[in-house]
Amino acid sequence: MKPSLVLKMGQQLTMTPQLQQAIRLLQLSSLDLQQEVQEALEANPMLEMADDGDDDYGSSAQESGDDDAPAVTLPEPVSLDSIEQHGQNDQEGNWNEQIPSELPVDTQWEDVYQTSASSLPSQDDEDWDYTSRTGTGETLQSHLEWQLNLLPMSETDYQIATALIDGINADGYLEESLDDILASLPAELEVELDEVEMVLHRIQQFEPVGVGARDLRECLLLQIRQLPETTPMLEQATRVVRDHLELLGSRDFSQLMRRSKLKEDQLRDVVALIQTLNPRPGSEIASGEPEYVIPDVIVRRDANRWLVELNQEAVPKVRVNGHYASMVRRADSSDDNTYLRNNLQEARWFIKSLQSRNETLMKVATQIVEHQRGFLEHGEEAMKPLVLHDIAEAVGMHESTISRVTTQKYMHTPRGIFELKYFFSSHVGTSEGGEFSSTAIRALIKKLVAAENPKKPLSDSKIAGLLEEQGIEVARRTIAKYRESLNIAPSSERKRLV
Give per-residue pLDDT as tens, 346-404.
Answer: 989 999 999 999 999 999 999 999 988 888 888 888 888 888 888 999 989 888 888 98
Please report the domains of the chain, with CATH numbers, ordered by start residue: 19-70+293-419 (no CATH), 137-288 (no CATH), 425-494 (1.10.10.60)
Query: For residue 253, which amino acid is it?
Result: F
Residue 364 has what pLDDT?
92
- Choose the weakest-confidence range: 118-132, 164-178, 316-330: 118-132
Virtual torsion, Cα 489, 491, 494, 498, nearest 10 deg: 160
Beta strand extents in 8-67 (DSSP E only): 47-49
For the question of whether the overall pTM of this predicted structure is more than 0.85, the answer is: no
Residue 411 has what pLDDT?
92
Residue 288 has what pLDDT?
57
Percent of all residues in the chain with a pLDDT value above 70, rounded to a whole number: 79
Phi-psi sector, 321: left (phi>0), alpha (psi -120 to 50), beta: beta
- In 304-338, which positions are buried (b, 16+ CB within 10 angstroms) versus exposed (e)? eebbbbbbeebbbbbbbbbebbeebeeeeeeeeee
Q: Which residues contact 96 (CB under 8 A, 6 or more apart)?
A: none
- DSSP label at residue 96: S
Which element (helix H / strand E) includes 305?
Answer: strand 305-310
Query: For residue 441, which amino acid is it?
Result: I
Residue 461 has what pLDDT?
87
Please state the separation of Cα 399 from the chain's center in Å. 25
Residue 433 has what pLDDT?
59
Residue 413 has what pLDDT?
92
Higher local confidence (pLDDT), 477 or 187: 477
- Read off the pLDDT of residues 43-87 as tens digits, 9 standing for 90 and up: 988 888 887 655 444 444 443 444 444 565 556 666 665 444 444
Q: By 3-state DSSP, what share of the chain in percent is helix, strand and coil, each rounded to 5?
A: 50, 10, 40
Q: Checking DSSP bridges between strand 416-419 and strand 427-429, what pairing results, if any?
A: unpaired
